[in-house]
Amino acid sequence: MKNIPSIERSTSQPRKLAALRQAQQDWSNSSDVLTRLTRRLSTTLSLETQLGILADELNDVVPFDSLHYRHRIARQDFVFATGLGGQHRSEYRLNLEGVHYGTLTLNRRQRFSEEELQGVETILGAAICPLRNACQYMAIEQAALTDALTGIPNKRALDDVLLRASQLSDRKHGDFSLVLCDLDHFKSVNDTHGHVVGDHLLQLAAECLERSLRTSDSVYRFGGEEFAVLLPHTADADARDVAERIRKAVGQIRVDCGEETLSVSTSCGVATHLAGESPEQWLARADDALYQAKRQGRNCTRVFAAIS
């Protein structure tokens, strides 16, 4: 290996460091749209924030009336929209290395020129890598909040949503109800038919619960064979009706086990959020109602009767 004289190193290193500092200053102070765009996008991994930045920078170069972005990440649809109207439309599928990262649509009252469309493509080319990183980050976040077996949100996600629902209920004075559903005698299913059948039954139950709910409702895997359902804008009487609908739907599940057909029932406990109540207190009341349903014969619904 050739030795570099120490005097050469000592004179070249300051020049390189100075050049690096100058390059950093040039990058930070550059006003051209592509450098500014990538600089701004690099400050966040929030997909919503990145799309806001992209819309801002893009509109400065190619004015538009509305921008719409949609993408399905994990099991959830992500939509971002800004602006209104425009009968002329230009749509772009955002792909990088063979992977799809959403569809972006621009609308405008005036037709886009070829030069403008080329400008849009240039800007999207500069934005695609940060957008990919934001999509991947969101997918990782969702995976941490998703039950691996059933594909629905898990207990951690439930904790987050109960806190938000409690705060919203107190602030807006709206009704939020919680339903806990527990599959009856589930341990005997695993003991008799094995965990493969038990896991399949849990997957069917999760699908059944999702089909029984409104789009505004949400279902979570709360424990081993226990599910939680959050019902916004729903008081206890209507929540009981939803729980009964869930209970009857789960009762229709059938699993062919060869020599016999397996069915299952569920017990439900309902509690509506009270003013000033913590998520833990709310959950405890729903759990108490579920315990009453189990004690009183299973395959039924009980509502926690709050004392006025």
Specify the 3-state DSSP secondary structure of 151. coil
Alpha helices in the chain (DSSP H): 6-29, 33-41, 47-61, 114-144, 155-172, 186-193, 195-211, 236-250, 279-295
- Cβ contacts of 59 within 8 Å, gap of 6 or more: 67
| Residue 184: predicted pLDDT | 95
Taking Cα atoms as reference points, which of 266, 251, 250 lies closest to residue 300? 266
Residue 251: alpha-carbon gap to chain centroid? 29
| Residue 8: predicted pLDDT | 53
| Residue 10: predicted pLDDT | 60
- Is-catalytic flag, 225? yes
CA–CA dist 169, 230 (Å, integer): 12
Taking Cα atoms as reference points, which of 199, 293, 285, 278 lies closest to residue 246? 293
Q: Please give the model's pTM, rounded to 2 decimal places.
A: 0.73
Which tokens go with 111?
A: 């037709």
CA distances for 302 relative to 186, 225, 260, angstroms: 20, 18, 31
Provide φ and ψ at 268, rounded to 5°. Answer: -130, 140
Q: DSSP letter at 56?
A: H
Catalytic residue of the set 48, 97, 207, 225: 225
Which tokens go with 94?
A: 């955002």
What is the number of other CB atoms lying within 10 angstroms of the CB of residue 106? 25
Taking Cα atoms as reference points, which of 215, 203, 213 lies closest to residue 241? 213
Q: Domains of the chain by range and CATH? A: 15-144 (3.30.450.40), 155-303 (3.30.70.270)
pLDDT tens digit at each of 308 positions of the chain: 455 555 555 668 888 888 888 877 777 777 789 999 999 999 999 999 999 999 999 999 999 999 999 999 987 899 999 999 889 999 999 999 999 999 999 999 999 999 999 999 999 999 999 999 999 999 999 999 999 999 999 999 999 999 999 999 999 888 999 999 999 999 999 888 899 999 999 999 999 999 999 889 999 999 899 999 999 999 999 999 999 999 999 999 999 888 888 999 999 999 999 999 999 999 999 999 999 999 999 999 999 976 54
Residue 260 corresponds to which amino acid? E
